[in-house]
Structure 1
Amino acid sequence: MRHPLDVVVRIGGAGLCRTDLHIIEGQWSPITNIELPYTLGHENAGWVTEVGSAVSNVAVGDTVILHPTPTCGQCYACRSGDDMFCSASSFPGVNTDGGMAEMVLTSARACVRVDPTTRPADIAALADAGLTAYAAVKKATPLLHPGSYCVVIGAGGLGHIGIQCLTAMAATHVIVLDRNPQALELAKGLGARTCLEVVDDGTAVLKEVLEITDGRGADVVIDFVGEGGTEQYAPAMVRNGGTYLVVGYGAELRIPYIDLISRGLNVVGNLVGTYNELVELMALQRDGLVTLHTRSYPLDAVGDAIADLENGRIRGRGVLIPD
């Protein structure tokens, strides 16, 4: 062990994320400056196999899910509860070796103990996809009073979790947009009130959303896609004074300042979530209010899994499981 708070976890499941595709495409290169080769995998769960001398919150044999960023606990961001902005954090799978392997090195501060009967493969993707979706919904819920409208763009790996969080946490009319009819069927089964298929550049669904909301637009739009044209039509779906929560990424958002000012539009970015929010999410999972829909792959089939994700063949979330 290199540090007294180090923890080694045997991986029981590693989620596959669109961020992994963006890393492969080179979008993160200017940010991380990491040297190849390194191991992907930032959605990890498994069993503790070794702990450092100062670790007291977990023990060998515990089943754990890992917050994506091991943090220092001492900097301003950590002491403010903003774990994701820790000045000394690492990000396994993004800027250091991650969990698409048999073992991963993390820290005690990243470990959340779960029920020992839990299969790590069933919860691994909650570490990022679930946490990101939950954190975005938590930001939205104070804005979603009874009678309000919330548009969810994308019912895939993040979106299907976000829909469940919304139905558990807010008395709002959930409108889900997706290009895939199967994803919309999943969304309907998870509690979405209205499901609309995107078949063009978004013009048709924009019109439908405005009709449903009596011309005002949605109180909140949560964009779990962030590319492929959503950046063009999503802001137009937000009511004056409403909020556009950006979760997915890949495109570039262009909004004239006069529109922001005259419409009172709020644009809010979302970067994963805090350790406490992961604990809260796991409480929803424990109580059966959030369930992952997954497709499992053996670790050595990672190439097939990436191809399926890239080509839209995975409903919910792909999870890699070591032999």
Structure 2
Amino acid sequence: MRAVQVVGFGRPVAVVDRPEPKVEAPQDVVVRIAGAGICRTDLHIVEGGLEAAFNQRLPLTLGHENAGWVEAVGTGVPHLAVGDPVIVHPAVTCGFCDACRRGADMHCATWRFPGVDGWPGGYAELMLTSARALVKLAPGTSPAPLAPFADAGLTAMHAVRRLTPFAGTGTTVVCLGSGGVGQIAVQLLKILTPARVVVVEPDEARAQTAYELGADEVVTLPAEAAADAVLDLTAGHGAQAVLDLVGEGGVPEQALRMLAKGAVYSIVGYGGGVHIEHLDMINRELTIVGNQIGTHAELGELMALAAAGRVTLGTETFPLEAAAEAMAAVAAGQVGGRAVLVPE
């Protein structure tokens, strides 16, 4: 089968021929990929930025935003049948550790992260995963457009759920960035909270999309320069929550400046950092929250919202063979929503 692999850090990905995955364990499921979303994490992987964090060895088949159809199932998977449309949770988990028992899939003691940690991901025609990772979609669902919800959507759902205690009536939530994750986050903030939603997005097209998706205000400035504008919008008090989808450059420092007393700085984007002044943290009683992917239950809830048409995301499709070109377009900011690789 065809697969897209990282064959050298700092080099373009390559389309290679790989053996088809086979069912071996009772809970195994092989998914025929309909679409695989391109995440900025994939770009970081290609650059070598996650080599140490995940002990990566090359070659590595990318792809952790996946959806498709069941191709084959193990003997312990009675609830799925060949041809069922599914979306794939990014984590392969044990089901028995304390974290799994609590439903915190991403904290599993022995989890695997296909497409990131060496387990082959979904930039391929077929992918091996676990039945625990799959959310069954309604019959007749087209899986490809939903692929980015497996991470971009799931991360947004998890992050928004965790900041809702700070986003009550009369509050302001700032979303830094309006790419794929930000577009979903804006919709979820309007569904799950009564807060005023302010989006910081310098790109005119993405700013317009943010308005169309329900943002109450859009600040068309780079996130590095938006703190004063946010303070002006909040009469100098600041926002009760800032959801940082950028996380690099001078953005974290400006995000902290935007916070009101008792507020939360919710981090999704990464690559940068900020110096924390303990006295400031104490005086303003701030909270900092890091967000990974969400839970299996959150992915199921998100799919219900998507099926009802309450959460949408614009996608641009590329053939599997054009993975390098598609990733370059994402890196250059030329894709407004989410890029999706489609095997043909």
Q: Give the conservation status (yes or no) of the 8 Å contact 1:57–1:108.
A: no
The question of 1:321 aligning with 2:336 is answered: no
Note the alpha carbon deviations across 1:85-123, whole angstroms, 9 max, x for none: 111111111011100000000000001001122211110
**Map of 1:39 onto structure 2:** 61
- CA distance in structure 2 between the aligned counterparts of 1:139 and 1:32, rounded to whole angstroms: 25
- CA distance in structure 2 between the aligned counterparts of 1:254 and 1:30, rounded to whole angstroms: 23
Q: Give the conservation status (yes or no) of the 8 Å contact 1:150–1:174.
A: yes
Note the alpha carbon deviations across 1:123-143, whole angstroms, 9 max, x for none: 000000000001111112222
TM-score relative to the length of structure 1: 0.97
Note the alpha carbon deviations across 1:245-266, whole angstroms, 9 max, x for none: 0011111122111211111110
Letter in 1 for 2:84: D
Letter in 1 for 2:288: V
Q: SS at 2:67's partner residue?
A: strand
> Aligned match of 1:272 in 293, 309, 313?
293
1:200 offset after TM fit, Å?
7.9
**Map of 1:212 onto structure 2:** 233
**Map of 2:104 onto structure 1:** 82
TM-score relative to the length of structure 2: 0.91
The question of 1:141 aligning with 2:189 is answered: no
> Aligned match of 2:79 in 22, 38, 57?
57
- CA distance in structure 2 between the aligned counterparts of 1:199 and 1:125, rounded to whole angstroms: 25
Letter in 1 for 2:343: P
**Map of 1:174 onto structure 2:** 197
The question of 1:104 aligning with 2:142 is answered: no
1:56 offset after TM fit, Å?
2.0
Letter in 2 for 1:69: A
**Map of 1:293 onto structure 2:** 314
> Aligned match of 1:18 in 32, 37, 40?
40
> Aligned match of 1:263 in 279, 284, 287?
284
Note the alpha carbon deviations across 1:269-312, whole angstroms, 9 max, x for none: 00010000101111111111101111110110001111001111
Q: Give the conservation status (yes or no) of the 8 Å contact 1:58–1:111.
A: no
Letter in 2 for 1:63: P
1:83 offset after TM fit, Å?
0.5
- CA distance in structure 2 between the aligned counterparts of 1:257 and 1:315, rounded to whole angstroms: 38
1:57 offset after TM fit, Å?
2.6
**Map of 2:153 onto structure 1:** 130
- CA distance in structure 2 between the aligned counterparts of 1:251 and 1:295, rounded to whole angstroms: 28
- CA distance in structure 2 between the aligned counterparts of 1:201 and 1:132, rounded to whole angstroms: 23
Q: Give the conservation status (yes or no) of the 8 Å contact 2:176–2:223.
A: no
Q: Give the conservation status (yes or no) of the 8 Å contact 2:45–2:51.
A: yes
- CA distance in structure 1 between the aligned counterparts of 2:295 and 2:223, rounded to whole angstroms: 36
Q: In angstroms, what is the RMSD of aligned CA positions?
A: 1.1
**Map of 2:19 onto structure 1:** none
- CA distance in structure 1 between the aligned counterparts of 2:176 and 2:84, rounded to whole angstroms: 37
- CA distance in structure 2 between the aligned counterparts of 1:207 and 1:225, rounded to whole angstroms: 18
Q: Give the conservation status (yes or no) of the 8 Å contact 2:200–2:222.
A: no
**Map of 1:162 onto structure 2:** 185
**Map of 2:212 onto structure 1:** 189
Deviates more, 1:178-187 or 1:138-147: 138-147
Letter in 2 for 1:274: T
Letter in 2 for 1:25: E
Which runs of at least 4 in structure 1 moved beyond 6 Å after TM superposition? Answer: none
Letter in 2 for 1:276: A
- CA distance in structure 2 between the aligned counterparts of 1:142 and 1:313, rounded to whole angstroms: 35
The question of 1:253 aligning with 2:282 is answered: no
Percent identical across equivalent pairs? 48
Unaligned runs of 5+ in 1: none
Q: SS at 2:60's partner residue?
A: coil
- CA distance in structure 2 between the aligned counterparts of 1:170 and 1:19, rounded to whole angstroms: 28
Note the alpha carbon deviations across 1:53-86, whole angstroms, 9 max, x for none: 1112311110000100011000111112110011
Deviates more, 1:28-37 or 1:234-243: 28-37
Note the alpha carbon deviations across 1:140-171, whole angstroms, 9 max, x for none: 22221121100000000110110011111111
